[in-house]
């Protein structure tokens, strides 16, 4: 049932003031997948896409080597504070305008007519790229965990990039099969949530308990260690470079917004999922990070491990047993694999929503819903194929592929800017949903804008100095590719076809 008056189609959109204050847009499942994610399943999906403690586990040595333990421990606190305001901002917007398009849909609704379509299109392109970066990097990480386990077991095993890539292809195929049925993916998300939480809890207890005698680091190292090894002459820059890892723990907070049309009462439930993602993420990631620093007694051995996976080497040192190290890493691998499932659901729903509004070439093909499986099958297969192609970067250059990790952080932040800016410009003349924070909402959006600009600019600098081919930050290359491809498609096609489908097709 539509709550509020029906707004005009975007094609009839005038300057500011075309949306009535108090309108909320309830989205039916009739225009998309009919299946429903329960509130707990939605929270599970949003959390397992982000999986904060796994984000810390995957590359914790990068932050430590850049600026010491302080960049991880205090970085997590700073990122939690910053991203809770981001979560408030996104929650207000999705509560007022729930739609699988998420950020680009909000831009189209809030921006003036002369800016709405190109800004919404650019936002959608960045959003899709962020989703593909998430899946491509995530599958490579899981494959690396598997291959490093083989390397630990068989020292003569040749750990090559092409083997890791082929492993990632196999894992993506497995995750893609699970995503062929909406009921299966929704149930697997629930399982993945509990696996992630239980594995995190188990490791946080087991690793310190297994640490022998005094073979642990001091509180000074954990809480007061700022060791600039980045090559930057200013310690502050080293600390900022080290923030990428804790920031990665709170990436892609928008994932739940793209399941809005498969969720009952999305105006209330999606904000819950976004905020719980940040809160649960910090509750799990902070103790886990402290535990990692406590057990990190041999940093050079962990960083330069022949397995290529610092976490596995840390397990090997702590447990003093290959068997127990392999058992521990297998649980981490299982939790990581379950995060691939909602990541693929996230990217396919976003691809489908953007295609429904003619945002991609051949949109008519990608915007179809399969009648039997009740999922956007064509968009799903397209997205998985694109992830396969992006993964090839890893074979060409592992350094260039590391920039996808940065892309997971910065591309979503690029998509948050325009919705927050135009929401502030609109003032009270915009839709309001059940989750409305008033003055706190305005403050949250200001902080979100400032923080996103800070992250986008600072995370584009080289990770280390002096700059070489092996430590170059290639995120600016990704910016350039997105700009060139997006501009070509916009001027040749999208400027004539990209537009929100009629509101009557979105609403009951």
Please, what are the domains in the chain?
30-494 (1.20.1740.10)
What's the pTM? 0.87
What is the structure's pLDDT at 16?
Answer: 40
In this predicted structure, the answer to whether residue 41 has a pLDDT above a threshold of 90 is no
In this predicted structure, the answer to whether residue 371 has a pLDDT above a threshold of 90 is no
Rg (CA), the chain: 22
Q: How far is residue 400's CA from residue 410's CA, in Å, rounded to a whole number?
A: 16
Give 209-215 contacts, CB < 8 A, sequence gap 24+.
210/318, 210/319, 210/324, 211/294, 211/295, 211/297, 211/318, 212/320, 215/297
Contact 89, 445 (CB under 8 A): yes
Higher local confidence (pLDDT), 62 or 144: 144
Higher local confidence (pLDDT), 221 or 108: 108
403: which 2 tokens?
């920039």
**With bands split at pLDDT 50, 70 and 90, how would you rate the model's confidence at 228?**
low
What is the structure's pLDDT at 417?
Answer: 96
CB atoms within 10 A of CB 96: 26
Lowest mean pLDDT among 83-97, 236-250, 370-384, 493-507: 493-507
**With bands split at pLDDT 50, 70 and 90, how would you rate the model's confidence at 166?**
very high
Q: How far is residue 137's CA from residue 139's CA, in Å, rounded to a whole number?
A: 6
**With bands split at pLDDT 50, 70 and 90, how would you rate the model's confidence at 35?**
low
Lowest mean pLDDT among 177-181, 217-221, 426-430: 217-221
All residues at 6 or more sequence positions from 74 whose CB lies less than 8 Å from its CB, including other chains: none
What is the structure's pLDDT at 36?
Answer: 73
Span 255-283, mean pLDDT?
A: 92
What is the structure's pLDDT at 209?
Answer: 86
In this predicted structure, the answer to whether residue 506 has a pLDDT above a threshold of 80 is no
In this predicted structure, the answer to whether residue 6 has a pLDDT above a threshold of 70 is no
172: which 2 tokens?
């993506």
What is the structure's pLDDT at 294?
Answer: 86
Span 340-344, mean pLDDT?
A: 92
Q: What are phi and psi of 432, to 5 degrees?
A: -125, 135
**With bands split at pLDDT 50, 70 and 90, how would you rate the model's confidence at 505?**
very low
What is the structure's pLDDT at 187?
Answer: 85
Span 22-42, mean pLDDT?
A: 55
In this predicted structure, the answer to whether residue 1 has a pLDDT above a threshold of 60 is no
Tokens 């694999």 belong to 337
Q: How far is residue 84's CA from residue 419's CA, in Å, rounded to a whole number?
A: 17
Q: How far is residue 42's CA from residue 273's CA, in Å, rounded to a whole number?
A: 6
What is the structure's pLDDT at 230?
Answer: 65
Q: How far is residue 368's CA from residue 442's CA, in Å, rounded to a whole number?
A: 38
**With bands split at pLDDT 50, 70 and 90, how would you rate the model's confidence at 262?**
confident
What is the structure's pLDDT at 12?
Answer: 37
**With bands split at pLDDT 50, 70 and 90, how would you rate the model's confidence at 229?**
low
What is the structure's pLDDT at 465?
Answer: 73
Q: How far is residue 140's CA from residue 172's CA, in Å, rounded to a whole number?
A: 10
Q: pLDDT above 70 covers what percent of the chain?
A: 86
Span 231-245, mean pLDDT?
A: 78
What is the structure's pLDDT at 236?
Answer: 79
Span 43-57, mean pLDDT?
A: 88
How far does Cα 448 stand from its chain's mean position?
Answer: 16
Encode pLDDT of 379-437 as tens digits.
Answer: 999 999 999 999 998 888 877 777 888 888 999 999 999 999 999 999 888 899 999 99
- Mean pLDDT computed over every residue of the chain: 84
In this predicted structure, the answer to whether residue 23 has a pLDDT above a threshold of 50 is no
In this predicted structure, the answer to whether residue 190 has a pLDDT above a threshold of 60 is yes
What is the structure's pLDDT at 7?
Answer: 35
CB atoms within 10 A of CB 501: 16
In this predicted structure, the answer to whether residue 2 has a pLDDT above a threshold of 80 is no
Q: pLDDT above 90 covers what percent of the chain?
A: 50
């Amino acid at each position: 049932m539509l709550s509020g008056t029906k707004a005009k189609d975007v094609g009839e959109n005038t300057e500011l003031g075309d949306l009535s204050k108090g309108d909320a847009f309830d989205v039916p499942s009739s225009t998309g997948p009919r299946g429903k994610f329960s509130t707990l399943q939605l929270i599970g999906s949003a959390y397992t896409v982000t999986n904060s403690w796994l984000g810390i586990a995957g590359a914790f040595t990068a932050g430590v080597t850049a600026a010491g333990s302080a960049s991880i421990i205090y970085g997590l606190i700073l990122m939690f504070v910053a991203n809770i305001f981001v979560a408030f901002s996104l929650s207000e917007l999705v509560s007022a305008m729930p739609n699988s398009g998420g950020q680009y849909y909000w831009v189209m609704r809030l921006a003036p007519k002369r800016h709405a379509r190109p800004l919404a299109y650019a936002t959608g392109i960045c959003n899709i790229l962020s989703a593909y970066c998430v899946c491509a990097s995530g599958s490579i990480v899981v494959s690396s965990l598997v291959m490093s386990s083989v390397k630990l077991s068989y020292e003569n095993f040749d750990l090559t990039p092409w083997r890791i890539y082929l492993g990632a292809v196999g894992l993506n195929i497995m995750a893609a099969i699970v995503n062929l049925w909406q009921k299966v993916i929704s149930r697997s998300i629930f399982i993945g949530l509990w696996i992630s939480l239980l594995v995190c809890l188990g490791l946080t207890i087991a690793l310190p308990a297994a640490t022998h005698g005094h073979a642990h680091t001091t509180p000074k190292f954990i809480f007061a260690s700022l060791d600039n090894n980045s090559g930057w002459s200013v310690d502050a820059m080293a600390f900022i470079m080290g923030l990428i890892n804790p920031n990665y723990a709170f990436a892609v907070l928008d994932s739940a917004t793209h399941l809005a049309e498969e969720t009952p009462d999305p105006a209330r439930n999606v904000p819950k999922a976004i905020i719980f993602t940040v809160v649960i993420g910090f509750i799990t990631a902070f103790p886990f990070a402290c535990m990692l620093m406590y057990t990190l007694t041999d940093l050079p051995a962990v960083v330069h491990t022949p397995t290529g996976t610092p976490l596995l080497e840390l397990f090997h040192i702590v447990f003093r047993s290959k068997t127990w190290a392999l058992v521990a890493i297998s649980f981490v691998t299982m939790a990581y694999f379950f995060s691939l499932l909602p990541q693929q659901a996230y990217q396919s729903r976003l691809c489908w929503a953007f295609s429904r509004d003619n945002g991609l070439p051949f949109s008519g093909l990608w915007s179809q819903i399969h009648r039997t499986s009740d999922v956007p099958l064509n968009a799903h297969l397209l997205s998985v194929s694109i992830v396969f192609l992006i993964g090839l970067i890893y074979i060409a250059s592992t350094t260039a592929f590391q920039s996808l990790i940065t892309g997971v952080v910065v591309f979503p932040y690029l998509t948050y800017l325009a919705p927050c800016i135009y929401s502030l410009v609109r003032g009270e003349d915009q839709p309001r949903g059940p989750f409305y924070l008033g003055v706190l909402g305005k403050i949250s959006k200001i902080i979100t804008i400032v923080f996103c600009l800070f992250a986008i600019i600072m995370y584009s600098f080289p990770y280390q100095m002096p700059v070489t081919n092996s430590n170059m930050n290639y995120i600016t290359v990704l910016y350039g590719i997105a700009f060139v491809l997006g501009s070509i498609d916009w001027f040749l096609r999208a400027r004539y076809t990209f537009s929100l489908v009629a509101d009557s097709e979105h609403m009951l």
